Structure 1
Amino acid sequence: MFTWKTTCSFPEHWRGDLMIQLGARPAAGFDDPLRMLSDCHRRIEWFLGSLYNVDQVAGETLTPAERQALESALGYFATSGVVHTQDEDESLFPRLRSCADDHPCVHAVLETLERLDLDHQLAHEEHKVVERLIQTWLRDGMLTPDSRENLKLVLESLRERYRGHIELEDSVVFPLARTVLSATVIETVGKEMRQRHTSYLR
């Protein structure tokens, strides 16, 4: 299971590689929830890439490093990934929808928000398939050729889904939210995120 101590919490032994992925700038906290959500996208990309890369290079028997990579990624998507989706679906997107009548630019992206909601639902179902197959791989030490091919296809689907999903949020939705939502509303989003992460990831 994954945790993220300050931003989408995560165990300390994952911190080094993730900080390399995020770059030199400090990760955002709950006082800047929009940038925090974007930072979490980098972690999603990193862990999904980890799953994909292990599937591409692993032989019939998993190495200890491959096994650890799979376990860590499964843990991330089973916990912090779930909370990230809730942060958007329950805290950010409703605030944007509520101001659509006052801001034509928000009204113009309502269909985009519906697409993002659908992406969350479809990704959830694909993650369940990935978890089932990888748990079998970890338990049995191998997958049948058909299961390995299925895993490859689902991971490729997830990569494509996240690629478009993250681009929309980072380039359209988050900048729009920063423009149309008041500082007080953004602060409330951050407080809700803090409470959700604290209760879910403790």
Structure 2
Amino acid sequence: MGEKGECGGPSFDDPLGLLAACHERIEGHCATLVRLAAHVRVHGGDSEARVAAGRVHHYFAQAGRWHHEDEERDLAPLLAHHGDPAVTALMARLMSEHRVLEQAYAPLELVLQALPTAPGDVPIEPYVSLMRAHMAAENTMLLPRARALLAPSEITVLGRAMAARRGVTIPGP
């Protein structure tokens, strides 16, 4: 399967590693948002700020959405099959947090798409704090539990589904 995902690093052969790598990339974009907000407060939405805002928005609008779909449409059902009530409750909580994150991102998305030219505030909070807490929960609770529960065949199914979502065809056995 070897094809790398949009986050680089692990391939679709290691979809849980790919999800973790995406978290690292999301953290990088959160750090960019913090720097962007400080920059815009002083300099406004100059060309440097617009480029950074465009990169962050592009990532969250595409890869970020795919990431949540990977977890909700593919990982959650595989984990539910194992019948672990604690994992089921954790997935329900994390999927609920996805909706909260989407709501928190909406006002930020509008600003990223059209940065004000004058100095001002970019509303990165509560989005950045919520996202960082969410990723921490996934990294420390969800991904380790998924690694423990999922069989190699389920890992393959997950990797293929993630690849297909991105339009990548993985040759089958």
TM bracket, shorter-chain basis: 0.7 to 0.9
2:108 to 123, 130, 134: 130
User: 2:18 maps to which residue?
Assistant: 36
TM-score by length of 1: 0.75
The aligned length equals 165
Q: Tell whether the 8 Å contact from 1:8 to 1:84 is kept in structure 2 after alignment.
A: no
2:30 to 48, 52, 57: 48
- 1:135-157: CA deviation from partner (whole Å, max 9, x where unpaired): 231xx5237x5xx2xx43xx221
- 1:57-103: CA deviation from partner (whole Å, max 9, x where unpaired): 22243332222111100111010111011000001011111211xxx
- Residue 96 (str. 1) matches residue 65 (str. 2): no
1:136 and 1:31 mapped to 2: Cα distance? 38
2:45 to 50, 59, 62: 62
For 1:142, what is the secondary structure of its paired residue?
coil
User: 2:92 maps to which residue?
Assistant: 114
- Return the structure number with greater helix share: 1
TM-score by length of 2: 0.87
2:117 to 133, 141, 164: 141
Q: Which blocks of at least 5 consecutive residues in structure 2 are unaligned?
A: 169-173
User: 1:163 maps to which residue?
Assistant: 132
- 1:86-143: CA deviation from partner (whole Å, max 9, x where unpaired): 000001011111211xxxxx32232221110011111112222111122231xx5237
2:67 to 76, 80, 84: 84
C-alpha RMSD of matched pairs (Å): 1.9
Q: Tell whether the 8 Å contact from 2:79 to 2:87 is kept in structure 1 after alignment.
A: no
1:30 and 1:158 mapped to 2: Cα distance? 28
Q: What is the one-letter code of the residue matched to 2:22?
A: C
Q: Which blocks of at least 5 consecutive residues in structure 1 are unaligned?
A: 10-25, 101-105
